Amino acid sequence: MSFVTAAKARLFYRWDGPEGLPTLLLSNSLGSTHAMWDPQIRELSRHFRVLRYDTRGHGSSDVSPGPYQVSQLARDVVSLLDALELPRVSFCGLSLGGMIGMWLAANEPARVDRLVLSNTSAQLGGPDLWNSRIEAVRGGGMAAVAETVIERWFTPAFRQANPEIINRIRDMVLGTPPEGYAACAAAIRDMDQRESLSRIETPTLVIIGAQDPATPPEHGRFIAERIAGARLVELEAAHLSNIEAAPAFTNAVLEFLTAAS
């Protein structure tokens, strides 16, 4: 297993794809790990050397004391890039990963070549929503929220047709450290990047799920409207569109990232 240290926390990372290709960094959602991107790796690694990592508080990365901030999680990415001597990468993030990507593109633009923001928001929910979720996981562990999370991540039809996938994702949610989840939930609670969107000049693709209750389609449209030149793709999926609509998601990302400037 490979780790780098960022602000006294070890971050797990892994590579897929041959050396010599351009680097694409993938950033996971709240309550998941780098493995959420498994459906994309075969195709993406034909065109990119794909770098995945576990967000602080998730997977094999350390759970440092919270609460976290989105800026802190984004600086973790900068530390990862610095440690691996990567001056500039393309970035694809979903949900919390997209929030991290927005911060990077607005505040560290030299580090991001092209940007994919999927199923994400510049500001999401009120404090009461996030505080109740934080209290739930601290009191009852991830089992207290796992089923609700799964229901918001996938449409009923997908859940019914794909029990093996759902069980695997449920295990991922249940395996998330509750304190890490709570600390990242606080980062989302305290985030508001609506005013900084207009500073993003990085070529950007915004992906929305037509049936996403977690980050509704209008949140993605808001982002796309405020980033000059941003493209918008809508998929028939709920929140984890990279899994529910995997071929369409992968094709949209590849088409955008490999298009001529």
Of 28, 43, 39, nearest in space to 246 by CA:
39
Instruction: Say what the pLDDT of residue 7 is.
Output: 82
- Four-residue CA torsion sign, 44, 49, 55, 59: positive
Spell 169-186 as b/e; 16+ CB within 10 A means b: bbebbeebbbbbbbbbbb
Instruction: Say what the pLDDT of residue 150 is.
Output: 98
Instruction: Note if the pTM is more than 0.95.
Output: yes
In this structure, are strands 49-53 and 89-94 parallel, antiparallel, or unpaired?
A: unpaired
217/208 Cα distance (integer angstroms): 5
Instruction: Say what the pLDDT of residue 6 is.
Output: 86
Helices (H), the chain: 38-44, 70-83, 96-107, 127-140, 146-153, 156-161, 163-174, 178-189, 217-226, 241-244, 246-258
In this structure, are strands 49-53 and 204-209 parallel, antiparallel, or unpaired?
A: unpaired
Domains of the chain: 2-258 (3.40.50.1820)
Cα angle 170, 78, 43 (rounded to 5 degrees) comes to: 50
Contact at 8 Å (CB) between 24 and 48? yes
Instruction: Say what the pLDDT of residue 197 is.
Output: 98
* Residue 164, C-beta contacts closer than 8 angstroms, at least 6 positions apart: none
103/80 Cα distance (integer angstroms): 15
Digitized pLDDT (tens) for each residue of the chain, 261 residues in all: 799 898 889 999 999 999 999 999 999 999 999 999 999 999 999 999 999 999 999 999 999 999 999 999 999 999 999 999 999 999 999 999 999 999 999 999 999 999 999 999 999 999 999 999 999 999 999 999 999 999 999 999 999 999 999 999 999 999 999 999 999 999 999 999 999 999 999 999 999 999 999 999 999 999 999 999 999 999 999 999 999 999 999 999 999 999 986
